[in-house]
Amino acid sequence: MKITLNNRPEEIDASEMTVNDIIQYKNFTFKLLVTKVNGKLVKTAERSQVTVRDGDTVEVMHLISGG
Amino acid sequence: MKWEEIKVHLLNKKVGVAGCGGLGSNAAVALARVGVRKFVLVDFDIIEPSNLNRQYYFRRQLGMKKVDGLSYNLLEIDAAIEITAHDMKLEYGDISTVFAGCDLVIEAFDKAEAKQMIAEAMIENMPSTPLIMGIGMAGIGGFQLIKQEKWSDNIYICGDSVSEISESLPPLAPRVGIVSNMQANLALELLLSESKST
């Protein structure tokens, strides 16, 4: 499938994946994330249920302490 | 835009400041100096000696609530500023009530968990209000790594995205000042661009 991940085209050798799978596949190592699929918020607990398919837009932001 | 025009455009703008520590106090001061006259300040903490290495407070203010100390300092810059101060720990469900009517919100929390909470709340409950986040400002140097970006829809990020605070990577005035003023600069840009389009 071809998706857009953080504004960049990304080709993944799978027909669909959960948001959690994508996080693992891309090696996002930061603990705290905010994720969106097609502009809609996907909360932490929903990441194992929400499926990403061809043409979808995925956005991932990581958070670190300091301020 | 001329300075006099900027002040007129900012007259009725309201800015929310979520956290009045290093990022929030410095960003609020910068915005007060350029003419923002309405603020909603939120913090649950008091001013401690260890804050003085980066936060916009003074020795005589030690022990005060941060929202009171910052309110006082903003009014020292411009006595016409109107402030709504909340001495509280913000929770997910409070965000849209506390910041109702704000043209934008500066995210200036310390903890990553709180940053996640406000980002998710603003995406879900205030999708048309910009949230300007500060992510990655600990340590020294690395000026070229600091950037600003529009992450998605109403969420903007300022910082280097990687320098997390720790014992060996403390938050310090110069770098915290750079990122907080970058947040204020972006806030100013957004506030003035709204004015032009309306």
Task: Give residues with Cβ within 8 angstroms of B152, minimum separation 6.
Answer: A36, A39, A59, A61
Q: Domain range for residue A31?
A: 2-63
Contact A66 B163 (CB under 8 A): yes
Q: What does pLDDT average to over chain B?
A: 96
Chain A: nearest CA to B170, how far in angstroms?
Answer: 9
| Dihedral (CA of A9, B121, B125, B131) sign | negative
Q: Look at residue B152 in the predicted model and tell me its pLDDT.
A: 93
Q: What is the ipTM of this complex?
A: 0.94
Amino acid occupying residue A48: S
CATH code at B113? Answer: 3.40.50.720
Q: Residues, chain A, total?
A: 67
Q: Three-state SS across B53-115?
A: HCCCCCHHHCCCEHHHHHHHHHHHHCCCCEEEEEECCCCHHHHHHHCCCCCEEEECCCCHHHH
Contact B161 A64 (CB under 8 A): yes
b/e for B165-191, b at 16 or more Cβ within 10 A? beeeebbbeebbbbbbbbbbbbbbebb
Amino acid occupying residue B29: V
DSSP state at residue B156:
E
CATH code at A30? Answer: 3.10.20.30
- The reply to whether A14 touches chain B by the CB within 8 Å rule is no
Domain count for chain B: 1
CB count, 10 Å around CB of B77? 12
Write out pLDDT tens, residues B143-175: 999 999 999 999 999 999 999 999 999 999 999
**Mean pLDDT, rounded, for B83-92:** 98
Contact A64 B113 (CB under 8 A): no
CA B13 to chain centre: 15
Reported for B32-35, long-range contacts at CB under 8 A and 24+ positions apart, including other chains, are: B32/B74, B32/B77, B32/B78, B32/B81, B33/B77, B33/B78, B34/B6, B34/B7, B34/B10, B34/B184, B34/B188, B35/B6, B35/B7, B35/B10, B35/B11, B35/B78
* Beta-bridge mates of residue B133: B107, B157
Contact B136 A64 (CB under 8 A): yes
**Mean pLDDT, rounded, for B114-127:** 98
Write out pLDDT tens, residues B6-57: 999 999 999 999 999 999 999 999 999 999 999 999 999 999 999 999 999 9
Closest CA relative to residue B132, chosen from B18, B5, B8, B1: B18
Confidence of residue B198 (pLDDT cuts 50, 70, 90): very low
% of chain A with per-residue pLDDT over 70: 100
| CA separation for the pair B117, B172 (Å, rounded) | 25
| CA separation for the pair B28, A15 (Å, rounded) | 48
- The reply to whether A10 touches chain B by the CB within 8 Å rule is no
Q: Domain range for residue B90?
A: 3-197
Domain count for chain A: 1
Residue among B134, B151, B157 minimizing CB distance to A67: B134
Tokens of B92: 């997910």
List all residues of chain A from 15 to 44 with a beta carbon under 8 Å from chain B: 31-34, 36, 39, 41, 43
